[in-house]
Structure 1
Amino acid sequence: MLPTLLLLLLSWPSFSLNLPAPPLSDPDEPARVEAPRNEAPAPRVRARRIGLHPRPSYRPNDPTRPTVCLIHGINSTSGSFVHLAPLLEREGYGVVLYDYPYNQELSRTIPAFVASLRAFREQHQDARPWSILSHSMGALLARSYVEGPHYADDVASLILIGPPNAGSALAPAQDMIQMLEALRSSIDPEGRTLMVLGERIGAAAKDLAPGSPFLDRLARNRPREGVPYYILAGDVGFLNKEIRQTIESRYRQIQRRSRFLGGLAGLALRNLPDVLDVLTEGTGDGAVAVASTRLEGATEHVVIPVNHVELIRGPIFYPDPGPVACQPFVSRWLAESLPIPTLAEAEAAPPAVDATVAVGGDGS
């Protein structure tokens, strides 16, 4: 019923938008996106084991190289940080990556993260606090640990990039997105689409739906005292405001012209405004609404004009090296919460525990 009603929205008499031609093929998994012809192929992300993977930069208990743990988002892997991780290392940080199955219930994913984090730190005898930087759904893992009963007072700061703190209206609305995708604006001239982020997300969709039992429980938590929460959001979706107004106008026409059909449309599309908030420039980043990223008690909340993937320059859309939108903010927040000490300060610090690290997980 929902796709049919949306088709009516798009094909009602006097509807005059010029629709772009549909893509010849759907994008594959993020690690296997093909670059357009005459362009270098996207970097391939190697398959990973689930768990924490240290990059060569990781040095447990080294006061001159603090650790940043990167947690990817939905329909992604730690390879989404292929452009960001090296920048952090050049600034002097050690990097640890976390991979997890993004398509299962968060009630299973979060305990697995907590257990993995505890085992990793014990294995490497790492006693120094880390900063956790997360993208998208990864923020819910990070928050659940820091705000939960198993927190071990080992996090210097949380940096949440595009976090769905109040969920995403796209999670339960994939049929609607399939239709609205035809109306994407010239914001994305190459034809790339953020709807790929919602494909094959499985059981996680239920937890990400606004008002889900999981999100209700998480909302009852309060930010952990002593841990700064930094939030970065984007507000560039793939519908412009004119296209949004056209969609809303078609919906109102259906309601006026047919009482029966209008009633069905009202039932099926009751969350249309929330979906449009996610997809429209100025109110969402194409995957998460700006309003959903906000969190009471956060240390800082910043909104910049980029889309959800562009926040971290994810290789699914941005395979080539270039500016990473979040970097200036991440650098400032790390300097505030996890500063790299001078040589004199490091020499004056207590000696670190000797720990050997198995190199791996380069995030490329």
Structure 2
Amino acid sequence: MRTFITAVFGLTLLLPPVAQGSCAILLHGLGRSDGSMESLERALEKADFQVVNVDYPSTVYPIETLAGQAIAPALDRCGPGTPVHFVTHSMGGILVRHYLSRVPVPNLGRVVMLGPPNKGSEVVDALGEVPGFHAILGDAGLQLGTSAESVPNQLGAANFEVGIIAGTRSINPVLSQIIPATDDGKVSVASTRLDGMSDHLQMPVTHVFMMQNDEVIKQVIYFLQHGRFYRPGPPSS
């Protein structure tokens, strides 16, 4: 392992060495592909992570099927005993929560979730029965509502290190009218929160593009290395 210097937020920081062979599994959101995570993939590789950028058919199967289908093969690609981190966008975070609630990962490291609907989304509540919704977003899309019976609300608190980034800007004013609070165009800031989370950060980014934002990517890497997000000044208690 080696210590290296990198520039983050305009500052030069001496960061602790990243364990050789640490693996970062990337999981995109509903209706997206692994291409949406390529900026993250490149940045993590430059930061000395082994990266597995997973492409999975998010609109074809329910969450229960997708979680195992996407994550189990990715863990195999990381190799036995390799420290494993997850970086997810939107529904990808729900897949990780579902998988970890059922399958222990002894070498689990840290998890970063971008815009996760951890308490569901009012958009699904309002539009789930509209003709064409299921045809476009599939069974998994219908499972992301805010009711107590929705998949996110059935999974319980996190028992692993997880940092969550919530967006506060929207490029979809129609959907934002459905969401009764500050939101990123798909998910409210409040809904991203998860009991047991290690850190939570709001950033002025949109749901659709947050995983490609340079400042978000810096925060992802910082959390994987430090277990908290970067904030100016001394760490809070």
Contact 2:21 2:83 in 1 (8 A): no
Deviations 1:254-292 (A, max 9, x none): xxxxxxxxxxxxxxxxxx9982337xxxx0000111111
- Which entry has the higher C-alpha Rg, 1 or 2? 1
- Match of residue 108 from structure 2: 155
Distance 1:230 1:198, change over 3 A: farther
Secondary structure in structure 2 of the residue aligned to 1:222? coil
User: What is the CA distance between 1:332 and its match in structure 2?
Assistant: 1.1
Secondary structure in structure 1 of the residue aligned to 2:179? helix
Question: What is the CA–CA distance in structure 2 between the aligned matches of 1:163 and 1:64, rounded to whole Å?
Answer: 29
- Match of residue 203 from structure 2: 304
Deviations 1:195-242 (A, max 9, x none): xx9981111122111113423321xx2222xx31100010111367xx
TM-score where L is the length of structure 1 = 0.51
Contact 1:157 1:229 in 2 (8 A): yes
- Match of residue 84 from structure 1: 40
- Match of residue 295 from structure 1: 194
Secondary structure in structure 1 of the residue aligned to 2:141? helix
Question: What is the CA–CA distance in structure 2 between the aligned matches of 1:334 and 1:111, rounded to whole Å?
Answer: 23
- Match of residue 167 from structure 1: 120
Distance 1:330 1:198, change over 3 A: farther
- 2:25 paired residue among 53, 69, 73: 69
2:64 is equivalent to residue 110 of structure 1: no
Deviations 1:162-213 (A, max 9, x none): 0000111112434899xxxxxxxxxxxxxxxxxxx99811111221111134
Distance 1:125 1:299, change over 3 A: closer
Q: Residue 141 of structure 2 aligns to which amino acid in structure 1?
A: A
Question: What is the CA–CA distance in structure 1 between the aligned matches of 2:176 and 2:208, rounded to whole Å?
Answer: 22
- Match of residue 249 from structure 1: none
- Match of residue 204 from structure 1: 140
- Match of residue 86 from structure 2: 132
Distance 1:153 1:307, change over 3 A: same
2:137 is equivalent to residue 234 of structure 1: no
- Match of residue 10 from structure 2: none
Secondary structure in structure 2 of the residue aligned to 1:134? strand
Distance 1:238 1:117, change over 3 A: closer
Question: What is the CA–CA distance in structure 2 between the aligned matches of 1:239 and 1:134, rounded to whole Å?
Answer: 22
User: What is the CA distance between 1:136 and its match in structure 2?
Assistant: 0.3
Matches within 5 A, 1:245-324: 275-277=178-180, 283-313=182-212, 323-324=213-214
User: What is the CA distance between 1:114 and its match in structure 2?
Assistant: 4.7
Q: Choose between structure 1 and 2: higher strand proportion.
A: 2
Aligned length: 208
TM-score where L is the length of structure 2 = 0.77
Secondary structure in structure 2 of the residue aligned to 1:108? helix
Secondary structure in structure 1 of the residue aligned to 2:94? helix
Distance 1:199 1:233, change over 3 A: farther
Distance 1:206 1:68, change over 3 A: same
Q: Residue 209 of structure 2 aligns to which amino acid in structure 1?
A: E
Distance 1:105 1:156, change over 3 A: same
User: What is the CA distance between 1:157 and its match in structure 2?
Assistant: 0.7
Distance 1:312 1:239, change over 3 A: closer
- Match of residue 98 from structure 2: 144
Question: What is the CA–CA distance in structure 2 between the aligned matches of 1:213 and 1:176, rounded to whole Å?
Answer: 15
**Greater length-normalized contact order (CA 8 Å, ≥ 6 residues apart):** 1
User: What is the CA distance between 1:81 and its match in structure 2?
Assistant: 1.1
Question: What is the CA–CA distance in structure 2 between the aligned matches of 1:239 and 1:273, rounded to whole Å?
Answer: 6
Q: Residue 275 of structure 1 aligns to which amino acid in structure 2?
A: I
Contact 1:75 1:199 in 2 (8 A): no
Question: What is the CA–CA distance in structure 2 between the aligned matches of 1:132 and 1:175, rounded to whole Å?
Answer: 29
Contact 1:311 1:325 in 2 (8 A): no
